[in-house]
Amino acid sequence: MLQIIESQLKDLLEKAGVTGKIEFSKPPKADMGDVAFACFELGGNPREEAAKLVEKLEVDGFKLIDEIKAFGPYVNFFFNTGELARLTLEEVNKKDYGSNNVGKDKKVLVEYPSQNTHKEFHIGHFRNICIGNPLVQLYRKSGYKIIPMNYVNDFGRHVVKALWYMQKFDKKPDGNKQKWLGEIYAQASKYIEEHKEEVTPELDELQTKLEAHDPETMKLFEETKSWSVEGFKKIMDELEVEHDSIVYESEVKDRGQEIVDELLKKGIAEVGEGGAIIIDLEKQNLDIALLRKSNGGGVYLTSDLALAEKKFKKYKVDESINITGTEQNHYFSQLFKVLELNGFKHKMSHIGYGLVNLSSGKMSSRAGNVVLYEDLRDEVFASLKKETVDRHSDWNEEQVEKNVHILTQAVLKFTMQKHESNKNITFDMEEAMSFDGYSAPYLLYAVARINSIKKKGDSTKGKEDFSLLKEIEEKKLLMLLGEYGEVVKKALENYNPSTIARYCFDLAQAFNDFYNKHSILNVEDQDLANVRLILSISVGQVLTKSLKLLTIDTVEEM
């Protein structure tokens, strides 16, 4: 509900003697009004208090309210559609509509997607981005100074496996080097799994050389790392990821080892079996945390301790947020607890997201049965291109390519974003590309339809008489438009971009319902045509803004 409307209702209730916190809700049915106020806190029997309050409320001269009724313990307000339109559409057309200053003078760092070099960029990483991108936009819209950062693991055992396999079998890159390197890692993992005892000493030897910065090993490492970095940059640009900085594990690994030594000296960490360095977190129900392997090598936790320190020292943020799969929930609980035991007082949060599954089950970059982002993108693009060419034989190649690129990104992103982050999902190609139902094409088609109406309505010269808006479908659209700011706040509070996705669908669906039941331009009364046109354009504006929060662009025509 618009702040200006909420303020008017609160003033009305306070004049009738209501004190304390005043909150509103939405009635379960449209015929029960537009906004409800619960009377549970008014002191007496809630039903009786609701009936009394209706009698006390003075609405003479109050243009917004047509009627007030008591429904059990609730007082429900029925809005005048014309006045609701005037108030709502004035707000909607403001440049900063939906923005707020909740985050004024606050700085937040969001770390995503944290992919590894020398590995595939699969649709699990893509889902990470589909959560991170909207969070960055939501934070900005809420007044925060936001720092999007990527932390890339470029120095782990996976690198050793890829380099060893390349050297062992004299493998040379072919085509897309970043993609090829990921395939090499998958092949290496499979081979090593089948010959573990035989090759483990060779892997250990190469890892020692890598960690000792052996010149020949480092030359191959740097060259292959550059293939991943260059390939990832192209993908990030394509997906509209705006990283302020990128930190590589190799940059913080040594400091992490120093922190482990400090934890040992403080008695927080201890020497475990075989000489490994551990912290016993069993009292906190977090098991044993491994900080350093028995051979002296670091683990993820080693480097993450140094990364946490670096984030707050370098960027001076109020909060750091990590986005990873839910299978790492336990790991991050351990990390945060170790930091706490070491006197680390900065706020760190973790958002876990569910896996993207194949029909055969969970993806694994080691097993080599992943769906790569680029492969999925190309498949969706090819299918949408065929349909676009069939629909628009008069379009030139450039127009087709431009539209299909936008549609492809919309399909891929929205399919990930319409689900709550912690839910596992299976990518359904047919459902994702459908022009009906809860899908990106359905939303973009609604925007394209409004664009078409706008072009046709350019010659409309009616007055702005909002009192002509009286239909139920018109009021529903106005109420939804007024909820945009609250939806933005709710999505950020819950770290849940699916709230925005659902809002987009509800708004598009309500517009299509309005469009199918009422003519917008083809009416005798030009004043009515004009205000319906204004309403339609406003819906298009808010729908486009909402989709932009998901980093989804729209098209003029479909």
The answer on 128 and 75 residing in a single domain is no
Task: Name residues whose C-beta falls within 8 Å of residue 541's C-beta, 6 or more positions apart in sequence.
Answer: 92, 93
The span from the CA of 289 to the CA of 335, in Å, is 8
If you average pLDDT over every residue of the chain, what do you get? 94
At 367 the pLDDT is: 56
Q: Both tokens of residue 22?
A: 């005043």
At 96 the pLDDT is: 94
Give residue 356's pLDDT band: very low, low, confident or very high (50, 70, 90): confident
The answer on 539 and 447 residing in a single domain is yes
Q: Both tokens of residue 321?
A: 């947020």
- 43: domain CATH number? 3.30.1360.70
At 366 the pLDDT is: 59
> How many residues are there in the chain?
558
Residue 243 sits in which domain range? 112-269+296-357
Q: Is 267 exposed, middle or buried (0-12, 13-18, 19+ CB in 10 A)?
A: exposed
Q: Is the pLDDT of residue 495 over 90?
A: yes
Tell whether 205 is covered by a domain.
yes
Is residue 185 helix, strand or coil? helix
Q: Cα 368 vs. chain centroid, distance in angstroms?
A: 27
The span from the CA of 172 to the CA of 364, in Å, is 24
At 362 the pLDDT is: 63
The answer on 532 and 466 residing in a single domain is yes
Q: Cα 308 vs. chain centroid, distance in angstroms?
A: 23
The answer on 155 and 257 residing in a single domain is yes
The answer on 72 and 131 residing in a single domain is no
The answer on 118 and 75 residing in a single domain is no
- 159: domain CATH number? 3.40.50.620
pLDDT tens profile 160-193: 999 999 999 999 998 999 999 999 999 999 999 9
The answer on 229 and 142 residing in a single domain is yes
Q: Is the pLDDT of residue 37 over 80?
A: yes
At 339 the pLDDT is: 98
The secondary structure of 350-418, three-state, reads EEEECCEEECCECCCCCCCCCCEHHHHHHHHHHHHHHHHHHHCCCCCHHHHHHHHHHHHHHHHHHHHHC
Domain boundary among 37, 54, 79: 79
Tell whether 403 is covered by a domain.
no
pLDDT tens profile 317-354: 999 999 999 999 999 999 999 999 999 999 999 999 99
Q: Is the pLDDT of residue 522 over 60?
A: yes
Tell whether 341 is covered by a domain.
yes
Q: CA angle at residue 300 from 326 to 420, to 5 degrees?
A: 15
Domain boundary among 334, 357, 380: 357
At 360 the pLDDT is: 61
The answer on 128 and 35 residing in a single domain is no
pLDDT tens profile 66-121: 999 999 999 999 999 999 999 999 999 999 999 999 999 999 999 999 999 999 99
Tell whether 534 is covered by a domain.
yes
Domain boundary among 31, 64, 79: 79
Question: At residue 193, what are phi and psi to the nearest 5 degrees?
Answer: -60, -35
Beta-sheet pairing, 74-79 with 107-111: unpaired
Q: What is the mean pLDDT of residues 147-159?
A: 94
Q: Is the pLDDT of residue 155 over 90?
A: no
Is residue 460 helix, strand or coil? coil
Tell whether 483 is covered by a domain.
yes
Measured CA distances, 23 to 189, 475, 490 (Å): 57, 21, 15
The span from the CA of 132 to the CA of 79, in Å, is 38
Beta-sheet pairing, 35-38 with 74-79: antiparallel
Tell whether 75 is covered by a domain.
yes
- Give me the percent of the chain exceeding a pLDDT of 70: 97
At 81 the pLDDT is: 97
Other Cβ atoms within 10 Å of 120 Cβ, number: 25
pTM, to two decimals: 0.93
pLDDT tens profile 448-470: 999 999 999 877 777 899 999 99
The answer on 199 and 343 residing in a single domain is yes
Tell whether 228 is covered by a domain.
yes
Task: Name residues whose C-beta falls within 8 Å of residue 219's C-beta, 6 or more positions apart in sequence.
Answer: none
Is residue 471 helix, strand or coil? coil
Tell whether 367 is covered by a domain.
no
The span from the CA of 286 to the CA of 330, in Å, is 7
Q: Both tokens of residue 430?
A: 């047919």
Q: Is the pLDDT of residue 7 over 60?
A: yes
At 254 the pLDDT is: 93
pLDDT tens profile 397-440: 999 999 999 999 999 999 999 999 999 998 888 899 999 999 99
The answer on 138 and 61 residing in a single domain is no
- 541: domain CATH number? 1.10.730.10
The answer on 223 and 335 residing in a single domain is yes
Other Cβ atoms within 10 Å of 556 Cβ, number: 12
Burial code (b: 16+ CB inside 10 Å, e: under 16) for 193-218 equals eeeeeebeeebeebbebbbeeeeebe
Q: Both tokens of residue 112?
A: 């995503």
The answer on 197 and 48 residing in a single domain is no
Give residue 371's pLDDT band: very low, low, confident or very high (50, 70, 90): confident
Number of domains composing the chain: 3
At 373 the pLDDT is: 93
Long-range contacts of 200-204 (CB under 8 A, 24+ apart): 202/164, 202/168, 203/157, 203/160, 203/161, 203/164, 204/295
pLDDT tens profile 114-143: 999 999 999 999 999 999 999 999 999 999
The span from the CA of 458 to the CA of 356, in Å, is 45
